[in-house]
């Protein structure tokens, strides 16, 4: 679930794998394994992923439909448009 949610939130937010890996301070190979569901992810990395995607760790760890993911992204942009853009500009 984590990997699928990260992949969908990243792609729906138009963030590349390279950019997200830089935002989280992890290597791209680890991000690939996270999205594939084959990585053993530390809680600190889950927190950094959630912060970078402007959501919560619990949201990333729960099962969601595409509609839920898109709603979370829309909610994130509506509640904090500056924070949603901040990451894309500086990484």
**Residue pLDDT, tens place only, 8-56:** 999 999 999 999 999 999 999 999 999 999 999 999 999 999 999 989 9
Say what the pLDDT of residue 89 is: 44
Q: Which helix (H) or strand (E) element contains residue 6?
A: helix 2-12
Say what the pLDDT of residue 84 is: 46
Residues 6+ apart with CB under 8 A from 19: 87, 88, 91
Model confidence at 88: pLDDT above 60: no
Model confidence at 91: pLDDT above 60: no
Model confidence at 66: pLDDT above 70: yes
């Amino acid at each position: 679930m984590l990997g699928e949610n990260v992949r969908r939130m990243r792609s729906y937010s138009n963030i590349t794998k390279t950019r997200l890996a830089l935002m989280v301070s992890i290597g791209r190979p680890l991000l690939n394994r996270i999205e594939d569901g084959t990585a053993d992810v530390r809680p600190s990395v889950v927190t950094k992923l959630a912060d970078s995607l402007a959501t919560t760790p619990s949201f990333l760890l729960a099962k969601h439909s595409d509609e839920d993911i898109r709603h979370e992204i829309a909610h994130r942009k509506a509640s904090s448009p500056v924070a949603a853009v901040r990451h894309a500009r500086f990484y």
